[in-house]
Every structure is written in structure tokens, then in C-alpha cells.
């Protein structure tokens, strides 16, 4: 099989539409993960008996099972219980919930990374809880959190490809569809690889720059 540029150009628009779906699913997943992750992190931090333990189990459960298994479970089992959603919405929820567990851990690590002396200084100055969190602790934690989250977001962008298994018409699924109807895989899969790289490589550079800028200059 030899490379056919004309054919490659003819399928490019469809693949770009697939890429758009991948990017949309990534952003929606990020939004869910950020909010749900914060809720999980705060509840675990508050150490409420039983409830905090349940969320600790939630994090272990989500991190301990493959994303593909979670996607299949949501796609094939939930409709049996009367919960029906489009493949795309199911996929977004699965990715968002999956990454919320990692995001919660990133929040926790970022907050724990703030020096104990910072908390002691806020006590010594009698700063109340809210400014302590919003003006002292979180601004320092965010500097640690943002670069780590950025790397997770890039990983999520690539993980959205797993949703092709539940017929979400994202980038990889589009390429598979083209391949199985035209019996050509070289061009679609090559373009898919290049498109992933074209997004994730610059994104990785941006995250690295951000990390350097947010670090305290010593």
C-alpha cells in the first residue's frame, strides 16, 4: 500500500471534524473533573465520618479500574436501569468522573505542599478562615496545581480516543469508520497520529512554560 496524497486530502475534513469532537469532549471532561474533583477534595479534607471514607473509596475505585471498563459499564449497563444518554454525553461523563479522582488528588497534594509555617503565620496574625484560604493558601497551592493539571489535561485529550469503543464519533472513531468503509488505514491513521501530535506537543510546551513562570523565583 502506497501513500495517496489526494485521498488523504479528501478525508481530512472528516478527520478534522472528529478532532473537534475530541477537543470538545476534552474541555467538557476538564470542566466536570475540575468541579467534581474540588468537591471530592473538600469533602475528604473535612474528614466527615463515613462520607469522607466513601469519597476516599470513590477515588481508589475510579483510579483502580481502567477507563475502558468504566466506559463500557456506563454505555452498556446504565441503559438497563433506564438511564439513556447519547454516546458522546456518556463518554464525556465517564472521562470527567474518571479524571475527577486524579484532580482531587492533585488538589490535595497542592494544598498539603504549602508549608506548615504559612498556616502558623495566618494563626499568629489571627487571619480568619476565608482570607486564609483565598489569599494565602490557595494562591500558593495553585502554582503547584496548575502545571500538574495541565499534564493531566493533555493525557485526557489522548484518552478520549478510548471513547471510540463506545461509538463516540471522535477522531479515532472517524478514522476507523473511514478505514473500514474504504479499506485504507494508512492515510487516516497517519493523519490521526499527526493531528494528536499537533495538539498535544504545543500544549506540553505551554504547560512547561507555565510551570516555570509560576515557580517562585529564588
* Residue with Cβ nearer another protein (22 or 122): 122
Between 6 and 115, name the residue whose CB sits nearer to another protein: 115
Pick 134 or 155: Cβ nearer another protein = 134
18 and 171 in contact (C-beta within 8 Å)? yes
Nearest in space to 198 (alpha carbons), one of 13, 10, 19 = 19
Q: Cβ of residue 143: shortest distance to another protein, in angstroms?
A: 8
Evaluated on CA atoms 50, 51, 55, 56, the torsion sign reads negative
Closer to another protein by CB, 127 or 186: give it: 127
Least Å from the CB of residue 208 to another protein:
21
**Minimum Å distance from CB 129 to another protein?**
10
How many Cα atoms within 13 Å fall on the side-chain side of residue 69? 6
State in angstroms the smallest separation of the CB of 202 from another protein.
Answer: 28
Closest among 134, 123, 157, 130 to 27, alpha carbons compared = 157
Alpha helices in 47-128 (DSSP H): 51-64, 67-72, 87-112, 116-124
Positions touching another protein (CB under 8 A) are 115, 117-118, 120-121, 123-128, 131, 135-136, 139-140, 143, 216-218
Please list, in sequence order, all residues whose beta carbon lies within 8 angstroms of the beta carbon of residue 218, skipping any fewer than 6 positions away.
none
Contact 186, 3 (CB under 8 A): yes
Q: Given the complex with another protein, which of 114 and 186 has the nearer CB atom?
A: 114
Q: What is the smallest separation between the CB atom of 126 and another protein, expressed in angstroms?
A: 5
Amino acid at each position: 500500500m502506497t501513500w495517496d496524497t489526494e485521498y488523504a486530502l479528501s478525508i481530512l475534513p472528516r478527520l478534522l471534524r472528529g478532532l473537534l469532537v475530541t477537543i470538545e469532549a476534552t474541555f467538557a471532561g476538564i470542566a466536570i473533573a475540575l468541579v467534581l474533583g474540588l468537591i471530592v477534595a473538600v469533602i475528604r479534607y473535612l474528614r466527615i465520618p463515613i462520607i469522607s471514607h466513601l469519597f476516599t473509596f470513590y477515588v481508589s475505585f475510579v483510579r483502580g479500574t481502567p477507563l475502558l471498563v468504566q466506559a463500557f459499564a456506563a454505555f452498556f449497563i446504565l441503559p438497563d436501569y433506564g438511564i439513556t444518554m447519547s454516546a458522546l454525553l456518556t463518554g464525556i461523563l465517564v472521562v470527567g468522573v474518571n479524571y475527577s479522582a486524579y484532580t482531587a488528588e492533585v488538589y490535595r497534594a497542592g494544598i498539603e505542599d504549602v508549608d506548615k509555617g504559612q498556616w502558623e503565620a495566618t494563626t499568629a496574625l489571627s487571619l480568619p478562615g476565608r482570607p486564609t484560604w483565598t489569599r494565602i493558601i490557595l494562591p500558593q497551592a495553585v502554582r503547584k496545581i496548575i502545571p500538574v493539571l495541565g499534564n493531566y489535561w493533555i493525557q485526557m485529550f489522548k484518552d478520549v480516543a478510548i471513547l471510540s469503543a463506545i461509538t463516540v464519533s471522535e477522531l479515532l472513531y472517524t478514522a476507523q469508520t473511514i478505514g473500514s468503509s474504504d479499506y485504507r488505514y494508512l492515510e487516516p491513521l497517519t493523519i490521526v497520529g499527526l493531528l494528536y501530535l499537533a495538539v498535544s506537543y504545543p500544549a506540553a510546551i505551554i504547560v512547561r512554560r507555565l510551570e516555570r513562570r509560576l515557580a517562585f523565583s529564588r
